Structure 1
Amino acid sequence: THLPWDPDWVIESLSDSTIYMAYYTLAKYLQHPEKYGIKPEQLKPEFFDYVLLGHGNVAEVSKITGIPIELLDEIRREFSYWYPVDLRISGKDLLYNHLVFFIMHHVAIFPREFWPRGISVNGWILVSGEKMGKSKGNFILLRDAIKYWSASAVRWAEVMAGADSTLEDPNFEPSMADLAVEEILSWIDYASGNYGTGRVERFKIDDWFESVLNQTVKKVTELMDKTMYKSAFVEAYYNLQNKFKWYLRRAGTPNRELLKQFIEIQTLLLAPFIPHIADEVWERIGESGYASIHPWPTYDESKIKVELDLAEEIVKRVLEDARELLRLVKQARSVKVTVAARWKYDLLAEVKKALMEGAKLNEAIRISLRKVSLPSKLVSQLAQSIAKNSEIIDMYVPVDVEYAVLKEAEEFLSRELNLKVVVEREEESSSPKREISLPSRPAIYME
């Protein structure tokens, strides 16, 4: 391409395609001379130096170009508003040429504050793991896909095809579009049919699910900011749905306010992916406006309780371990779950502290042993147990939290095991197995 105002210069093909987004900010002024009065011959080097780089005196530039000062300042403000480029999205085949030029030319021409902030690349779309082509009979036209599955189901399947920023080729699975139709209809029915229902009482399991909601918003927000759209969608829908199912299983009847929050949050998190469905649900639950243009949900860091996540994992492990024991003890009538004594947690907390300060496990145990004043035999046995079961260090939660969560889960565990379950503290227990209890590893005894 020859430079329009100086045919002796030739524009290298990649050069003129790597900063054209800067031209976008000026285009309306140059393409509409009837409105702005700018002619090609007025586009002197001083014009671009001032508008794009901020160089020169605006009054002098106005004299040289014949463009009014007010208009020059307006164009400069327009450019400064839109630049820098927040995200450049391109194909992976351009990674080693176009995108390299894109970076280098911006660095060479513009000041640092106008350098690109992010680049995202994507691969070629596959269908059921194969390259799409008419000869293979797997060529899908977008309009046909929308007609067959609906726009929302196609969007669902597309994001699940692999919409993260990687060099992998996204794989569109027709079966995923089929599944999306079912998931969408199910979500509409559940959200619109259950919004506003539930109990008023508040329990420990509700605190856990409230933490889950806040963690989910935080994680999805971070993933969206990183253009990890598939991961964000999986977190926003599938992972949150799985945690909600566990919550329903644990709680029986959900808390009314939390159920409303869950439906609202999931609808808003899904809005970028399936906006039409989100808007439909939003209207059905009685909210005004559109979910698709509603402010993005926020999270409260103070309501994210990692210890409750760990405590729920302990509940799951107790359930799994009890089921394993039931296969061996056929005639059990009841189950005693014994939470370890407080001094065991105190020692484990010291071990964890020493590890965080850089000590190795054995060294951390030795350091911690010097800080406790208990019978050496008991302490020695616990130290050996910690060394053999080091995973309990990562699972550590305060004893009162673990006990409270397990105690509240008595009814749930009894229902799941079809046996009476009693949760007790080691200090108050008569269970023959009480002494083997560890933090995050309660002793289980069947009678």
Structure 2
Amino acid sequence: MSTITEGGRSYARRDLLLKIQSEIQNYWYENKVFEAEPGSKTPKEGEKFFGNFPYPYMNGLLHLGHAFSISKLEFGAAYHRLRGSNVLLPFAFHCTGMPIKASADKLAREVKQFGNPPVFPSLEEEEKSNLAPEVTTESKTEPDKFKSKRSKAAAKSSGDKSQWEIMRSFGLPDEEIAKFQEPYHWLTYFPPLAKEDLKAFGLGCDWRRSFITTDMNPFYDSFVRWQMNKLKNMGKIVKDTRYTIYSPLDGQPCADHDRASGEGVLPQEYVLIKMEIIPPFPQKLKVLEGKKVYLAAATLRPETMYGQTNCWVLPDGKYGAFEINEADVFILTERAALNLSYQNLSKIPEKPTCLLELSGYDLIGLPLKSPLAFNEVIYSLPMLTILTDKGTGIVTSVPKFGDKSAEKVCNDLKIKSQNDKEKLAEAKRLTYLKGFTDGTMLVGEFKGKKVQEAKPLIKSKLLEAGLAVLYSEPEKKVISRSGDECIVALTDQWYITYGEEEWKKNAEDCLENMNTFCEETKNGFRHTLSWLNQWACSRSFGLGTRIPWDEQFLVESLSDSTLYMAYYTIAHILQNGNMYGSDNSSIKPEQMTDEVWDYVFCGGPEPKSEIPTSLLQKMKQEFEYWDGMDDANFVFETANAAILRLTKELTWMEEVLAAENSLREGPPSTYADKVFANEINYAVVLSEKHFNAFMFREALKTGFYDLQAARDEYRFSCGAGGMNRDLLFRFMDVQTRLIAPICPHYAEHVWKNLLKKQGFVIKAGGQKQKPQTLLSESLTSICKIQ
């Protein structure tokens, strides 16, 4: 054994296992053991296994988390392969969406501003240069234009990295990084590296079926276009105008997977109450004379406007008078104005037009005419606790609950002062809830109605009379992957109608029949199905496939990822083993018409096609055979212990095989022989049970650690009589098979080079226990053999 040392420490045992790993991988790939072909007959239950791992996004290298997660599928697939099942484990690479494009554009902005390679200024230099542009008066920012409220140096000082630094962290030299300004360069660079990493990991993958997404792969592009056409023809895709979380920098909606922060945040709709300033205007507002000028307050409770006594402004707050149309001007914060400008409430769409900058002090004491208020005139007054990152910075005052309610809730929650912010927030929530659910309207047109019934009626009345408008903003702060703060926009988009009643019921029935191995997982799916209604399936920025009937839009990155498992079944036929679909193939991308896809995947009639009938039938057979998916933290001390244990076991087996002639011949006859035989059988039974339940840690324990403990106990118990040759050979055979799903390189080495077996252990089939000798529980757990 090698005695090479590093830093005085021997790595010979590790290097031995790495050498075995490399040799066995070459042995597997030379013999194409992972290339799966369909059988000639429809498989019975357990005869085939198709496992899928969610394809990773290719905006960087794979990391240890990917390896940890995929190991679960690898173990399961290897176990089924060992049992003799026909196993298909493919792997592909997801490139659709905006992160790659956003990163490429960010890199281009850095090069444009700071040079190639970029020389970023120090924090002090950039603070002096004050590069941050104004937001409120800009037009819609193009995705390729630099815009940030934070300086690059400030971002770096807070722990953020420039895109150039991120690329350097991948080990890329500066001359290579510059190439990544082109988005498609990412697609040619990272997927092949990921494939090599997974091959080195030992993944038992049929790499012929590997592919990338986007229009760079013309076959997958055709597949997604067919999918979208199919859904639209079924009436499952509609166009609608809705409030959507939106990135002004990217110029498109920002779904959960497009966000750096704010996952799960939805648009919050308000009613914007128009409180008209009564002329004559004060000197500061004289420039606005001739227009209708309103303080605009956002409220969730329009039915309470009857009780307004005044409105509040933040004295130190920054406000603006923004032109909504030819006649109307709203006074509010610029953040709210930006949201409004994307909701068809700005004279110039998507560009807030500020006629006058104001402070809260300029607004104090203004006489106002407010909708529904019993007082003909109310006034704006100062309040120091207003937050300008929520609503419009203008707050209506409706002291509707009275002193008795206030006293009770303060006593119940033990509120001592106005500084008990959390308790005050809870008090507000409780009183609002009580008033809404149990309250009755005492005044106005809807007097006598329950509050929750009157609210939508009053809301409609205000909107129809032009006394209010709808306004929406994110519930909480959302930052896109491009780094800008998101707003809410009113957008025309294509939506998949997942909430359609019959379709949803089919999904719920399917879920209840699924084995998710964990009730928590099933509950998570149930929750998603409960709220999933219309899913926006189109985007205007990024990489991907164009919507076939509306090519200004791209198919968004989750909507092109719902059926890719089906594509695996025929990818090798279409792409000839090339992940980009660019090699010579017997089929041309343009020949894959919707009729051909229907024939292959949906049982449609045989199409009129230039594709040979034999290939059409082969694709259909592949899909029908594989159709139906099957269920499917690093510590160095643990790794070192595993290395030691495996290499010690190799040494022990080599010694046993060398001393084979000295072992006791004949069938197992002693009590110790029978106990050990039972332990072997027991390990097979338990390990099979654990593998079937995808409990891989328990399978490793029973099939390796417990089995070795039984072997050690047997060796100790045999004494001078010696160990039985047949039993030891059965032990080595069984242990090698049971550990093969988890340590396949090691097991294949033992099988091929030590035990001199034919074929591959990873396809050897499971060992069967002998029922006549299997006891109800492990004998070594109830007796100690002396």
After TM superposition, the score normalised by the length of structure 2 is 0.27
**Structure with greater proportional strand content:** 2
Q: Which protein shows a greater Rg?
A: 2
After TM superposition, the score normalised by the length of structure 1 is 0.46
